[in-house]
Amino acid sequence: MIGIDTHRIAEEINCLARFGAHPGGGVTRLLYDESWLAAQRYLAGRMESAGLRVRYDEVGNLYGTLEGTDRSLRPVLTGSHVDTVVQGGMYDGAYGIVAGILALEALQARYGRPRRSLEVVSLCEEEGSRFPTVFWGSEYAAAYDEPERNAERFGAAESLYDAKGLTLAEAMASCGFGPNGDYVTGLERRGRREAPYAFIELHIEQGGVLEAEGRSIGIVTSIVGQIRAVVAVEGCANHAGTTPMKLRKDALTAACEMILWLEERARRSEEGLVATVGSLRTLPGVGNVIPGRVEFTVDIRHSARDALHRFAVETATGFNRIAADRGVVVSWQESLSVAPVPMDSGLVRKWEAVCRDEGVDYRLMSSGAGHDAMIFARVCPAAMLFVPSRDGISHHPDEYTDAGQLALGACLLAETMYRMGYKVEEDSNETI
Ligand code: HGY
Ligand code: MN
Ligand code: MN
């Protein structure tokens, strides 16, 4: 199996983490902000120095291609997202991009050109940290034969606002991307004309299972489904000093009752269901005014579609009951509904064969985090490989994975890409 230098991969991830390094610790690199653009430009240069053909697509996904000799074969695509949560870790997303570049660089150095093109992509956005939308990069890339879908998404971008009131469309245009973008002339101005042969994503586990079992590799069999919503509670703002308690329509105390109710129901619910309120805003948000309006986010996940939807319906019903009891009005605006997605069994078997051949101890597992692989799974076989997260911590400055484990994951990625790109099975219909 090709070797990826332990020190090198840790170094390169540290280097990428400089873009958006947060003074309070961690990394904040948000779609189309300055650090995002600087990171993409750095990665474009790094892909070029790795001998890859570099191009952007309309939304700013950045591709590095190791051109195959047989252009009739569709490319294998690896990679992940370059954006982060606010004060997130330096491995979530970034690891899959850096490992992909190092793997293609090592393969080219050892074996020259593959038969089948091999590509690494730095997807522009997955987290939903700046605008109320997620998977902005992979949704565009996966709509390879649905230009109207991307046109619709570009239309919607005109009314997706960040905290400072800038629209996604304006932010995209400010980086030179979007339908009229001039990002770099001569580069591919549209997404891919055909789906990749396969999408394989290397990612940190973001949980504690591998570490608890002392294993270095997890092969993902499925990714949980998610329902995300913004809940608004409309009460009545009033004077904090002159309004008797029994006459109040306090939006914040109503929201608090809903949030504690949600936590308690999730605790008692089906095994594996999780529900989170990650952000909350009160209006007018000053100490001597009873909050008149509260907006908070709800994030519900489960590996079974019906359990996920059942819980979401129960939650909306429970919130309505609490609102009625308190004389306030509640509304629920869904921002994401993505079903649980199985990973491709052929690719899972391929990963298992590579691990067995190389004597690597692995386990099969599902993912509690969402990933770009679940979007690509709509249009091509998709699969993921996990490496451990220390103490299971992620979306936090303390996110960490040992360099040896990072390098092992990258070696397995390189070996899998080698088998799919250089030792192409002579199958006509290109099945995995
Ligand atoms: O939230 C998630 O599951 C992913 O990290 N975006
Ligand atoms: Mn994440
Ligand atoms: Mn991620």
Cβ neighbours, 10 Å, residue 131: 22
Assess contact for 299 and 278: CB atoms under 8 A. yes
**Residue 322 CA to ligand 2 centre (angstroms):** 32
**Would the CB of 300 count as within 6 Å of ligand 1?**
no
Ligand 1 pocket test target in 86, 366, 371 with most atoms within 8 Å of CB: 371
**295: Cβ–Cβ under 8 A, 6 or more apart, which residues?**
230, 231, 232, 233, 280, 281, 283
**Residue 195 CA to ligand 1 centre (angstroms):** 24
* pLDDT tens, residue by residue, 153-192: 999 999 999 999 999 999 999 999 998 777 654 445 555 5
Q: What is the band of 274 on the pLDDT scale with cuts at 50, 70, 90? A: very high
Is residue 236 pLDDT above 60, yes or no?
A: yes
Closest CA to 176 of 61, 43, 60: 60
Is residue 56 pLDDT above 70, yes or no?
A: yes
pLDDT at 426: 52
Closest CA to 117 of 426, 429, 422: 422
- Locate the ligand 1 atom nearest the alpha carbon of residue 368 and give its number: 3
Assess contact for 160 and 170: CB atoms under 8 A. no
* pLDDT tens, residue by residue, 279-313: 999 999 999 999 999 999 999 999 999 999 999 99
User: Which residue stretches of 76-214 are H helix?
Assistant: 94-111, 136-142, 147-156, 168-174, 209-213
pLDDT at 307: 95
Q: Which residue has the higher pLDDT, 207 or 192?
A: 207
pLDDT at 432: 63
Mean pLDDT of 382-393: 98
Q: What is the band of 194 on the pLDDT scale with cuts at 50, 70, 90? A: confident
Coil, strand or helix at 209: helix
Assess contact for 340 and 225: CB atoms under 8 A. yes
**Residue 290 CA to ligand 1 centre (angstroms):** 34
**Would the CB of 127 count as within 6 Å of ligand 1?**
yes
pLDDT at 144: 82
**Would the CB of 211 count as within 6 Å of ligand 1?**
no
Is residue 256 pLDDT above 50, yes or no?
A: yes
- Locate the ligand 1 atom nearest the alpha carbon of residue 394 and give its number: 5
CA–CA gap between residue 137 and residue 36 (Å, rounded):
13
Q: Pick the residue whose CA is nearest to atom 6 on ligand 1.
A: 127
* pLDDT tens, residue by residue, 315-342: 999 999 999 999 999 999 999 999 999 9
Dihedral, CA of residue 21, residue 35, residue 226 and residue 324, to nearest 10: 90
* pLDDT tens, residue by residue, 397-413: 999 999 999 999 999 99
- Locate the ligand 1 atom nearest the alpha carbon of residue 301 and give its number: 3
Task: Tell me what the pLDDT averaged over the chain comes to.
Answer: 94
- Locate the ligand 1 atom nearest the alpha carbon of residue 126 and give its number: 6
Q: Which residue has the higher pLDDT, 217 or 424?
A: 217
**Residue 84 CA to ligand 3 centre (angstroms):** 8
Ligand nearest to the CA of 399: 2
**318: Cβ–Cβ under 8 A, 6 or more apart, which residues?**
258, 261, 262, 265
Structure tokens at 229: 């919503």
**Would the CB of 370 count as within 6 Å of ligand 1?**
yes
Structure tokens at 149: 């879908």
H/E run at residue 281: strand 280-283
Assess contact for 64 and 104: CB atoms under 8 A. yes
Coil, strand or helix at 107: helix
CA–CA gap between residue 388 and residue 205 (Å, rounded):
5
pLDDT at 429: 46
Own/partner contacts of 45-49, CB < 8 Å, gap of 24 or more, are: 46/12, 46/101, 47/101, 47/120
**Residue 89 CA to ligand 1 centre (angstroms):** 12
- What is the longest distance spanned by two Cα atoms in the chain? 81
Assess contact for 150 and 140: CB atoms under 8 A. yes
Tell me whether residue 274 is exposed, middle or buried, using C-beta atoms within 10 angstroms of its C-beta: 0 to 12, 13 to 18, 19 or more. middle
- Locate the ligand 1 atom nearest the alpha carbon of residue 226 and give its number: 3
* pLDDT tens, residue by residue, 99-135: 999 999 999 999 999 999 999 999 999 999 999 999 9
Q: What share of the chain is helix, strand, coil (3-state, %, to 5)?
A: 35, 20, 40
Q: What is the band of 147 on the pLDDT scale with cuts at 50, 70, 90? A: confident
Tell me whether residue 120 is exposed, middle or buried, using C-beta atoms within 10 angstroms of its C-beta: 0 to 12, 13 to 18, 19 or more. buried
pLDDT at 373: 98
Residue 285: which region, alpha, beta or left (left: phi > 0; alpha: psi -120 to 50)? left
**Would the CB of 369 count as within 6 Å of ligand 1?**
yes
pLDDT at 182: 74
CA–CA gap between residue 413 and residue 405 (Å, rounded):
12
Indicate the range of 74-78, 147-151, 277-281 predicted with least confidence: 147-151
Beta strand pairing call for 329-338 and 225-234: antiparallel
H/E run at residue 309: helix 305-326
Query: How many percent of the chain have pLDDT more than 90?
Result: 89
